[in-house]
Amino acid sequence: MTSTPAAHDPNKMAVLRRTQAVFSVLLVLFVSPLPCHNVPAYQKPVMVQQTGKVLPKPQMLTVSAEAYTLAMSGFKFTYGSSSQMCDIVDQAFRRYYDLIFVVDGVKKAPVVSKDMSELTELQIMVKEPCTGVYPSLESSENYTLTVAAPMGTLVADSAWGVLRGLETFSQLVYRTDDGMIIINKTTVDDFPRFAHRGILLDTSRHFIPIKYIKQNLDAMAYNKFNVFHWHIVDDPSFPYQSVAFPDLSAKGAFNPYTHLYTQEDVKDVIEYSRLRGIRVVPEFDTPGHTASWGAGLPGFLTPCYDGSAPNGKYYAANPMLNTTYDYMTKLLQEIKDVFPDKYVHLGGDEVSFNCWKSNPDITKFMEKMGFGTDYSKLEEYYIKNILDITTSVGRDYIVWQEVLDNGVQVHKPRKTW
């Protein structure tokens, strides 16, 4: 089967991609009393065109001085005769054809030298069935790439390995000053050092439109990242439109009409990620970081007190109420149904005990449970209940390191920030 390159939009991040821009730019701002005339003028970062350099560096890479040309009309991606076929690879063929032959959003036919051999085909061999699959922590991303005219080969156990190999192939290709598209004779044997290579996007503090989330996913794919940690809700806003609790976004989003991720939006992001070999791991952080939940879930947050009277403020999930765990069971069941990944991130960090300490009903509950005045035990009680609920709905969990630092026994992945 041969790819049909005409179906893909060629404009997506072409300039960024072809210059091999560094994925993350860290801007450090120094506050200084120096007068303005001593401050150097801002200079844009220099974007250096790469010539066949691969990022990240493969486990084994051998590049020969022998070089081949590629012609837009003559080059094709194909499946090997015994290869598995699926939409993941089909769409990757289209994307990478455009990444190689598109310049500034326009398909630009390269100059072809008659004095050089021509690479006319890259034949793909996928060993495992790949129709309808999603990437996972256990996915194989190994691949072997051989570039030699007239036909190169890319062999991988899975479609995910094919995606990483196609990315490497596209990075090996470069356009010369006189307009030729060149690739050197190359062999690559590669596999990732880490199974989890993630980027976190916080869409609660700053709502990010789907268009820009997809641009981040493209940048991740170019750099072979494979986990989109979607910090989708937090104190400032609740943009996820829940089916079970629609008031969470209706009353907790910055704007319930414009700053919202509908179920279709979420499915779109998950599918876009899947086609690039990227897992989507959502984070719903509790018991802290839940200020945006309060209006949409009456009774979920803990009333804070000044002395013997409520002060009108609310903070953190109320760990003593059965309704809190009923809410979380229903929400986690929905998360399991919407997000296909095995893992959900449960947060668990930065829980201030001040509101719990002020609440007389919480104090009585602490006495009843034998916690004394150790509020970390109350936090542990809440977290253990949420972990059990998550397991009961059929999902594994990730928590922040702080959960373990506070004494909760967790035998699952955790993250440190």
Q: Are 84 and 127 in contact (CB under 8 A)?
A: yes
CB 140 within 8 A of CB 161: yes
Which residue type sits at 132? G
Distance CA 196, CA 389 (A): 25
Residue 72: what pLDDT?
Answer: 86
pLDDT in tens, 91-115: 999 999 999 998 766 666 667 777 8
Say if strands 174-175 and 181-190 run parallel, antiparallel, or are unpaired. Answer: antiparallel
> Could you list the active site residues?
350
> Is residue 286 within a helix (H) or strand (E), and if so which, with residue range?
none
Tell me the pLDDT tens digit for each residue of 72-95.
Answer: 889 999 999 999 999 999 999 999
368: left (phi over 0), alpha (psi -120 to 50) or beta: alpha
In sign, the C-alpha dihedral spanning 330, 335, 338, 343 is negative
CB-CB contact of 97 with 77 (8 Å): yes
Query: Of the candidates 94, 95, 121, 117, which has an alpha carbon nearest to the alpha carbon of residue 184?
Result: 117
Q: What is the pTM of this model?
A: 0.87
Query: Are 359 and 316 spatial neighbours (Cβ–Cβ below 8 Å)?
Result: no
Token representation of residue 33: 């009393």
Contact status, residue 393 vs residue 332, Cβ threshold 8 Å = yes
Written as one letter, the residue type at 31 is: V
pLDDT in tens, 118-140: 999 999 999 999 999 999 999 99
Closest by Cα among 181, 162, 180, 154 to 221: 162
User: From first to last of its 417 residues, what are the pLDDT tens digits of the chain?
Assistant: 444 333 334 333 444 454 444 343 333 333 333 344 454 555 554 444 556 789 999 999 999 999 999 988 899 999 999 999 999 999 999 999 999 998 766 666 667 777 889 999 999 999 999 999 999 999 999 999 999 999 999 999 999 999 999 999 999 999 888 888 999 999 999 999 999 999 999 999 999 999 999 999 999 999 999 999 999 999 999 999 999 999 999 999 999 999 999 999 999 999 999 999 999 999 999 999 999 999 999 999 999 999 999 999 999 999 999 999 999 999 999 999 999 999 999 999 999 999 999 999 999 999 999 999 999 999 999 999 999 999 999 999 999 988 888 777 776 655 665
* Residue linked to tokens 């691949």: 143
